[in-house]
Structure 1
Amino acid sequence: MCPPERTAEAVDLLREHPGTAHLIVHRGVAVTPEGDLVEADVAREAADEIVDALCGLGLDHSGGITMEALDTALSDAADAAEESAPGEAADAVVWQELLGRTGEESRWNATFQAFLVIACLLAAVGVLTDSPVTVVGAMVVGPEFGPLAAIAMGLVLRRWDLVRRAGLALVAGFPVAMACTLAGVLLGTAAGIFEPDVIVRNHEVDFVYQVGPASFVVALLAGAAGMLAMTSAKSAALVGVFISVTTVPAAGYVVVAAVAGRWDRAGFSLLQLLVNLAGIVLAAAIVLILRRRKQRSGVLLRPLSRG
């Protein structure tokens, strides 16, 4: 959406770019903000460059830019746009899209906290019942990768507001989830459902608190795979990321071990949590740096819009 005085510039920009197909202009149909509506199918490889150019016209402030992924486009023009755009679609990163996704997933809100509480409770139950399957379920439910990816994104793009917001989600979210888990474990113990002392005999889930160099290596690999999945829109790979890192299970183990009076295991579990968080952020940031350099091929980047 753009004001009428900017429509010609926007249309010329889209028409001249080889990565654009199916350009449509609706005059005077936009109500809020008032103006014209311009639609175009854009090859993913060209999307980042085109969005930056449109932001350069100020359309993210005076109008609005909306992106939607198209699954299928049967057209010679679309095929020509994909062939003309540099690179491969799977390798292209749409930075504004990624910034929007990570920004949304980094917020500390009721939904994020609820998922984290449920994940920690599942982890605690898995530890108490010596059930690796339940622990894996807790890994999948845990929502912590969103803020971790946002922190990596903020560090690479120097978006400190994003780093602060995502950091708050983790710093506030985990203690609240662990406090709720503590209440649950204490209630279960008082009701005779759980016996925290059994963790000394439960060896199937010992991997949760056994921290070492391998823990950091796994966190690095998981962080790299997770960011690759986010930047290439291959979200199915994120499930594998979730079940490969010991973040939420470690938080749950800290609580159970503390209730059982096993402070050594509680300490190791806490260290496991911190090692995994740090490894994921580090690897995700490295992937972003490498992909950014490759996509822009040494061309100086303009600052991303904050719109």
Structure 2
Amino acid sequence: MLHLRLIAPVEKTDKVVHLIEQTVGTAHLIVLRDAARDPAGDVVLCDVARESGDELIGGLKGLGLEETGSIAVEDIGLSLSRRAEEAEKEAPGDGADAVLWEQLADETHEESTLSVTYVAFIILATMIAACGVVLDNAILIVGAMAVGPEFGPLAGICTALVQRMPRLALRSLTALLVGFAAAMLVTVGFTYFMDAVGLFSKVQLEAVRPNTNFIYRPDAFSFVVAVLAGIAGTLSLTSSKSGALVGVAISVTTVPAAANAAVAFSYDEYRQAWGSSEQLLLNLLGIVLAGTLTLLSQKWLWARQRERAARTKGYQTPGT
């Protein structure tokens, strides 16, 4: 269940209440007259099944509530209510399959913003991966994958393509390109420093490296794994199962590939640098392709599910 806290101008409150009452899957409707001060208006509280959340939010935006009032949405961890159980049964579909597009856009907007924190994380992850490739240490490689924040911008690009949001696409692409460019540039300098103090050497980079040589040797499996990771990552975002993102992060070699390319470039080892760059591009392409197709599939399947529910239960979407 989702909890909605709305601030509605007095003249729109009745329309908001009517919309909620006509939406299948809502419960616990509360109206507090003149309770809001900034912006001024009435406060409307209600709970809604996740399956009906996207349509209700869309209906509220259709009333212009985000412009003249406020729409706040929270996930309810626990709701002990028979009425809530009935509301979830009345709502069409399954909550685990429902996508809250506004929430997804908001999350990817935050995760794909080019900020000091984002750049710091991707630089640190790439430097950790650089230590991993030189030492042929798989644990450091896995750690670098987990630290890397690059899935946020990748998810932002996928969401922007499906929802046709050019600003989000540009913001996500900028964060991705600038982040990796900064990380690789700093890692080149880091490599020179580590070499100067005797901790890195070209001999280590050119060694057999059985644990990490796959990073600069892309093959078909590189793309396949990236596609599978893109699907899993997208599903984890849309279903609020964020724990799966950790598994996604450590299954693709974006950050390690960038690190290996930077270290190899520092030592004029252009064969490894090119192979690592190819690995990086394959992973990025696979994730974006898979993520976009997954979102399109979810959108289509959910629309079909709602249409089927409308025929069998007489369900009407908000505003109809």
TM-score range, shorter chain: over 0.9
The structure 2 residue matched to 1:68, chosen from 65, 74, 94, is: 74
The structure 1 residue matched to 2:64, chosen from 58, 71, 76, is: 58
RMSD after superposition: 1.2
Structure 2 residues not aligned, in runs of 5+:
1-6, 308-320
The structure 2 residue matched to 1:46, chosen from 46, 52, 55, is: 52
- Contact (CA 8 Å) 1:144, 1:170: kept in 2 or not? yes
Shift of 1:194: 1.6
Partner of 2:105: 99
Alignment of 1:238-253 (within 5 A): 238-253=245-260
Alignment of 1:97-246 (within 5 A): 97-201=103-207, 202-246=209-253
> SS state of the match for residue 45, structure 2?
strand
Structure 1 residues not aligned, in runs of 5+:
301-307
Shift of 1:286: 0.2
- Contact (CA 8 Å) 2:92, 2:305: kept in 1 or not? no
Shift of 1:298: 8.5
Shift of 1:101: 0.5
> SS state of the match for residue 242, structure 2?
coil
Amino acid at match of 1:235: S
For these two proteins, the number of residue pairs brought into alignment is 300
Amino acid at match of 2:288: V
> SS state of the match for residue 143, structure 1?
coil
Partner of 1:294: 301
Question: How many angstroms apart in 2 are the aligned matches of 1:136 and 1:285?
Answer: 26
Shift of 1:28: 1.1
> SS state of the match for residue 65, structure 1?
strand
- Contact (CA 8 Å) 1:196, 1:256: kept in 2 or not? no
More strand by share: 2
Amino acid at match of 1:40: C
Could you tell which deviates more after superposition, 276-285 or 19-28? 19-28
Partner of 2:4: none
Amino acid at match of 2:37: V
TM-score normalised to structure 2 length: 0.92
> SS state of the match for residue 71, structure 2?
coil
Question: How many angstroms apart in 2 are the aligned matches of 1:197 and 1:91?
Answer: 51
> SS state of the match for residue 47, structure 2?
strand
The structure 1 residue matched to 2:39, chosen from 33, 40, 50, is: 33
The structure 1 residue matched to 2:286, chosen from 259, 263, 279, is: 279
Shift of 1:261: 2.1
4+ residue stretches of structure 1 with deviation over 3 A? none
Partner of 1:14: 20
Shift of 1:260: 2.3
Question: How many angstroms apart in 2 are the aligned matches of 1:196 and 1:2?
Answer: 65
Identical columns (%): 45
